[in-house]
Structure 1
Amino acid sequence: MRLYQLNDNNVAFPPVSAALTEPNGLLALGGDLQPNRLINAYSNGIFPWFSEGDPLMWWSPDPRAIIKLADLHVNRTLRKAIKKSPYKVTVNSAFEQVIKQCANAPFRSDETWILPEMEAAYINLHQLGFAHSIEVWQTNNDDALSPKEELVGGLYGIAINGFFSGESMFYSKPNASKFALVAISKLLSSVNVDFIDCQLLNPFLADMGASEVTRDDFINLKNKAIDIAIDKDFWHPREVNLSE
């Protein structure tokens, strides 16, 4: 099967059914990371993913990893941690810091796909109101007169109305990324969104309740989520209380 080649003059994509089975989900090459193309991609269940030195690649894997928010696994240890409230959690208060931390996460064993051009593209989407972050902060009280908050975890993703596609997360303190995931789930549940797109399954996501669905089932879920209108003020920067 011939792989579809994108160009700079047309932001359209081929149907996701045209994606390859090997490598799983590779749909197209080329194009650019301009906002209109990225928004069109996510609206159709497609995302970019490539490493340094590779061409720009676009994917729609089958199966697709999602978390049904009703199935989010908050174990006893995490529930106790949330009750103790060791962290402050915010939304859209430090997007650029979060994406940079995700790109340079010390626990990541492989090379990052969050290259400088990806950072710039998603920061642009954030400024346009389509990319959002959750931040997890820990207060450093070493200086009693001037305590400082340290960013110790977070995640970011793309939202098209009620459809949220998680891109990456990081942590530098225990449970910090789990706090971020619980926070985004709480926020989305409050506006009747019932799942998060996780793109590809990994052990961490599986432990938190993620599962795989067929591409067709994912597209149906995605289309229903996009039909959920979200108030423009929903993503305004604020603190998220997890203990309520």
Structure 2
Amino acid sequence: MASSSPASRRRFCRWRSVISCSERQTILSRKSGSWRAFKWTAYGVSGLVLAVVLGMVVPRPLLPKTATAAAVEPAVAGERVLILASPIHTDIAIPLNDETRTRFAFAGEAGVPLDHPEARWLIFGWGGRSFYLETPTWSELKPMPVLRALALDRSVMHVDIAGAIVEPQPSVTSVDLKRAEFEKLMTFISGSFARNGGAVFPIEGFSYGYADRFFEAEGSFNALFGCNTWTARALREAGLQTGFWNPLPSTLGLSLRLHN
């Protein structure tokens, strides 16, 4: 086989060198961009995980207001409350009795059957308007309510009743409050309803069943400061310690066990 001339070899080498350099720059540029994206994503995820852990471990308030654990003072009728948890949401259940029927009579006037013979608990939840109203079940999940929850949305209160609730179970946490603490909790819950001259604002045409109702609420909703941070605030008003920031039911439950 005839060998190529020195001139052709030089032309081939120059051409190969140009292609290799260009490809090398492209590859390096792509790798650099991918690495930067990966690095900042890792920083973001690590920062979020750290914030969640610190939010659970650091107590709020830093010093407990009062001793509230059940072991300190036996509970009396009307002073036990339940925190009901789903994978992403928490509600507060208080005993349904003559006192709470009177205190939250406006819920009965709006259609919540407070006098139902089998009702034992009155349940309150706070959340984003779009997600709460438009997502009764996960099968009805739509993009827009999710986007509004991640950004900023108006808030609503949800009121429901329940019969006997089995304790203990993983989705139920019970807390026994002193009388003064229970009063503070009810005051906080009542104050979460938007009012005009004392009158609340039922939201017509929205419910998950015959026994529940929605109401306009105070405050704005964001996924970082949402339903679970509202539950945590309510419990702090009642004298308990929670984590400093509890965006998830799991972190709220762990912080309650850790700090109380």
Flag the structure with higher strand content.
Answer: 1
TM bucket (normalised to shorter chain) is under 0.3
Larger helix proportion of the pair:
2
Larger Cα-atom Rg: 2
TM-score by length of 1: 0.24
TM-score, normalised to structure 2, is 0.23
